[in-house]
Amino acid sequence: MQVNNLETLFKKTLATSKLTAKQQAVLQVSLNLFSEQGFDGTSTSEIAKAAGVSEGTVFKQFKTKAGILEALLNPVLDDVLPMAAGEFLTEMNQSDLPNFQQLLQYMIADRMKFVLENQKQIRVFAQEIIRNPKIIQTLQVRAAAMIKGEAGDFLQQYKDSGQLVDWPSGRIIQYLLGTIISYVAPQVLLVPTKDFDIQQASTEAAEFLARGLAPQN
Amino acid sequence: MQVNNLETLFKKTLATSKLTAKQQAVLQVSLNLFSEQGFDGTSTSEIAKAAGVSEGTVFKQFKTKAGILEALLNPVLDDVLPMAAGEFLTEMNQSDLPNFQQLLQYMIADRMKFVLENQKQIRVFAQEIIRNPKIIQTLQVRAAAMIKGEAGDFLQQYKDSGQLVDWPSGRIIQYLLGTIISYVAPQVLLVPTKDFDIQQASTEAAEFLARGLAPQN
DNA sequence: ATTAATTAAGTAAGTAGTCGCTCACTAAGA
DNA sequence: TCTTAGTGAGCGACTACTTACTTAATTAAT
C-alpha cells in the first residue's frame, strides 16, 4: 500500500508541474470552486479573486477556463481505473495467488482510499462525465481492454481454481464497482463524515462480494 | 406492474399541469437541454429559441430559470425512492410473502424501468445532487425513515424466515442500490443502447444479490 | 539585457430577468 | 346583441450587469 496523504493526486500534480505559486493557487482554488459550484457555475473572475491574482493570470498558463478543468481532470483520468492486477500482488507481498476474499478486500480498500483522498477531483469528475460523455467512453474502452487482457486473465485464475463463479469478467467487475460506489457515494455527495472506516467498510464489502461471487453450489 | 410508457413521469407531469402548449414546449426543451448541457450551461435565450417562444415567455410561468429546474425535478424527487414495500406485494398479486429472490427481481426490474424511462430527468437529477447537497440530504432522511419503518419491517420478515442474512437493513438496501446503479449507469451516462434487456439484467442482479445476501452458513 | 510572470483596463458578447405593450378570450352590464 | 372591463398569455426591446478572454504596460526573475 502506497503511503498516501490527503489529496495525494492533486499534490502530486502540483509537485511535478513546476508551476509558480500563483498558478498553483489558481489550480487549487479552481478545484475547490468547481467541486462546489460546478464548472459552468464558476466564473474566472471568482477564481481570480479567490486565488488573489488578476484575471489575466488565470489565463496565462492554462489559456482557457477549460484548460484549467483539463489540468485538474487528467490526473484523475489516469488513475481512476485500478492499477494492473499484478501490482496488487506485489504490494501484498504475495508471490502466490492470494485468497480471493483477501484480494477483494485489498482492492476495495485501495479504491475507496483513492476516492476518499481525492474527493474534490472525484466531484469534478462526476459532474463532467455527465456533461461530456466522451470521458466515460474513453474509460469504458480502457476498462474493456483491461477485462480482455490482464485483469480478465487474473480473474480466470480464480475461476479455474474454484474460488470464483464462472460469470463473465465484465459482470464481476461491474458488481465490484457498484458495491464500492454504494459505500463512497455518500462521502462524495454529502459532507464527508470523519468516521468513515475504510478497513471496516472494505471488509464488509469484500464479505458481501465474496458470497455473491462464490462458485455455484 | 404499471403500464408505463417512455418518460411517463414527464408526460404525467405535463398531462396534469394545465400548461399552455408554449409552456409545455418550454419545459420539454429545458429538460432536453439541461440533460445535455447542464443547468448552468444552458441559457434562457437558448431555451426560448429551441421552444420557439420569446424569452419573456420562458419567465412567464416559471418566474426564474431555477423555477423551470424545480418543475422538472420535483416529480423525480417524489418518485425516485421505491414505493412502499407492501405495494410491490399488491402488484405481484401475492398475499403471502414471496420468495426473496423473486421479490428482488421484481423490485430491481421496477427501479431499472423507472430509471430507463426517465433518463433525461435522471441525468438532470444526477447533476443537481452533486451541485446541491440538500437534495440528497432530503432523500437520505426519507430513505432512513423507510428503513426504520415499513421497509425495515418487511426485510425483517425475510430475516426471521431464514431467507435473508441478518445484516442491518441499511446495508442491504445499500447493496441493492449499488448493484442497480451498476446496471443503469452506462445507460444514463452514455448513448443508451436499444438492446438493454430489463428482464435479463434484473434476473442477473437478483441472482447475485440473493447469493450475497443469503443467510450465513 | 532578456525573458517570463503578472496586472488591470478593456472588449465583445452573453446572461437572467424586467416591463410596457398587444392580443385573445371571457364575463358582466346595458 | 353589443359593448366594455378584466384577465392571462405572449412578445420583444430593454436593463444592468456578467462572462471569458485580450492586450499593452509593468514587474519580477534569470
- CATH number for the domain spanning A207: value is 1.10.357
> Are both B176 and B195 inside the same structural domain?
yes
CA–CA dist A60, A43 (Å, integer): 16
Report if residue B64 sits inside a domain: yes
Same domain, A109 and A164: yes
Query: Is residue A166's pLDDT more than 90?
Result: yes
User: Residue B86: CA atoms inside 13 Å, Cβ hemisphere, count?
Assistant: 4
Is residue B129 in a domain?
A: yes
Neighbours of A217 (CB within 10 A): 4
Q: Is the pLDDT of residue A4 over 50?
A: no
Residue A55 maps to a domain: yes
| Chain segment A112-151, per-residue pLDDT in tens | 999 999 999 999 999 999 988 888 899 989 889 888 888 8
A43-CA/C7-C1' distance, Å: 19
User: Is A2 part of a structural domain of the chain?
Assistant: no
Chain C bases having any atom below 7 Å from a protein CB = 5-10, 14-20
Nearest-Cα distance to chain B for A7, in Å, is 19
**A60 & A157 share domain:** no
State the ipTM, two decimals. Answer: 0.90
Say whether residue A138 is in contact with chain B using an 8 A CB cutoff. Answer: no
Rounded Cα gap, residues B33 and A153, in angstroms: 43
Q: What is the pLDDT of residues B138-148, one digit of tens each?
A: 998 988 988 88
Question: Binning pLDDT at 50, 70 and 90, where does residue A21 land?
Answer: very high
Q: Give a yes or no: residue B123 inside a domain.
A: yes
Residues A103 and A20 in one domain: no
Strand C contacts in A 162-191 (CB under 7 A): none
At residue B95, does pLDDT exceed 80? no
Place of cell 417524489: B78
Task: Identify whether residues B108 and B167 lie together within a single domain.
Answer: yes
The identity of residue B50, as a single letter, is A
Predicted confidence band at A2 (pLDDT cuts at 50, 70, 90)?
very low
Per-residue pLDDT, averaged over A62-90, amounts to: 83
Most confident of B18-22, B135-139, B144-148, B173-177: B173-177
Residues B84 and B188 grouped into a single domain: yes
Question: Into how many domains does chain A fold?
Answer: 2
CATH code for position B35: 1.10.10.60
DSSP state of A54: -
Query: What is the domain range of residue B67?
Result: 8-72
- A40 and A94 share a domain? no
Determine whether the distance from the CB of B18 to the nearest atom of strand D is below 7 Å.
no
A111 lies in the same domain as A30? no
User: What mean pLDDT comes out for the span B75-102?
Assistant: 76
B122 shares a domain with B204: yes
| B189 CB within 8 Å of a chain A CB | yes
What is the pLDDT averaged over residues B161-180? 94
Domain boundary among B53, B72, B91: B72
A186 and A89 assigned to the same domain: yes
